[in-house]
Structure 1
Amino acid sequence: MLNITELAANKIKEIMVDQNKENSYLRIYVAGVGCSGPNFGMALDDSKTDDDIIIEENGITAVADQRFAPYLEGAVIDYIESEQGSGFEIKSPFESDCGSCCSGCRG
C-alpha cells in the first residue's frame, strides 16, 4: 500500500512533538487528480472515520478515506533535502513521467 521512508517518518514524528500532536494520525488525501496524476496532501488529524483505511509504517499511523486507496497503492512519502530547500514528497505510480497533459510528451 503506502510506504513512508524512515527519514520522512522521523520528520513527521518531530512535527508531531513540536505541535503536541503525538497521538494524532497522519491524514493523506487527494486534493485533485489531473492529467499528470493525483495531487496529494497531508495533515495531522486527531480523529479517523469509519470510511478511513489505516496504514501503519515506520511508527506512523496514517489514515486516508478508502476512496483514495487505489491512488495510494505503491505510493511513497519521502522527505527531500536539496539546495532548493526541503520538504515532504509523495510519489505515486500514477504520476505521469512527462509532467502534464499540456507538456507535449513524446514517447
Structure 2
Amino acid sequence: MSTTAETGEGDAVVTATEAAADQARDLMAGEDMDPEEAGLRLYVQQGGCAGLSYGMRFEHEPESEDAIFESNGLRLFVDQSSLDYVGGSRLDFEGGLQGAGFHVQNPNVESECGCGESFRT
C-alpha cells in the first residue's frame, strides 16, 4: 500500500526545490503525462565508484508500495528500500553550462566520489 506525505512531515520526507519541480513538470508536460497521477521516481541502485548511485525517471503512476511525496506541485515516488538511503533528501535543479541537471542533496551521505555521481551512507 502506498503512503503519501506532505512536505515537512518527519525525517523521511523527500522534497523538491521550486526549480526542480518546475523543470520536472515542464518535462512531464512534454511527454503528455498527467501531473495529477504522474511523478518523478527517485531511486538508489548499486554502482559507481562509491558503491551507490541515484536514478530518476518519470512514471505515469506510483507502484503500490511506494512512498509518495508532494513538494512544490511535484509528485515524487520512492520505493521503500530506496527511502532508507534518501529519506530527508531534497531534489534540486541547476541550469548552466557545467553541472546542469537534477541533483540530490542527501543528508545521509557519508562520502561521495569525485564526480559526485555515486555515494556511500
Farther-moved stretch of structure 1 (91-100 vs 51-60) = 91-100
Aligned-partner Cα distance in 2 for 1:97–1:66: 22
User: TM-score by structure 1 length?
Assistant: 0.78
1:32 corresponds to which of 46, 61, 75: 46
Structure 2 Cα separation of the partners of residues 61 and 20 of structure 1: 15
Residue from 11, 14, 18 that aligns with 1:2: 14
Q: How does 1:1-107 map to 2 (within 5 A)?
A: 1-23=13-35, 24-32=38-46, 36=50, 38-97=52-111, 99=113
Segment of structure 1 superposing worse, 81-90 or 39-48:
81-90
Larger fraction in strand: 1
Deviations along 1:36-89, whole A, 9 cap, x unmatched?
474111111112222111111110111111122222222110001233151111
Contiguous gaps of at least 5 residues in structure 1: 101-107
> How large is the RMSD of aligned CA atoms in angstroms?
2.2
Q: TM-score, normalization: structure 2?
A: 0.70
1:22 CA displacement: 3.0
Using the alignment, how far apart are the partners of 2:39 and 2:107 within structure 1? 24
Gaps of 5+ in 2: 1-12, 115-121
Structure 1 position 98, deviation (Å): 5.7
* Structure with bigger gyration radius: 1
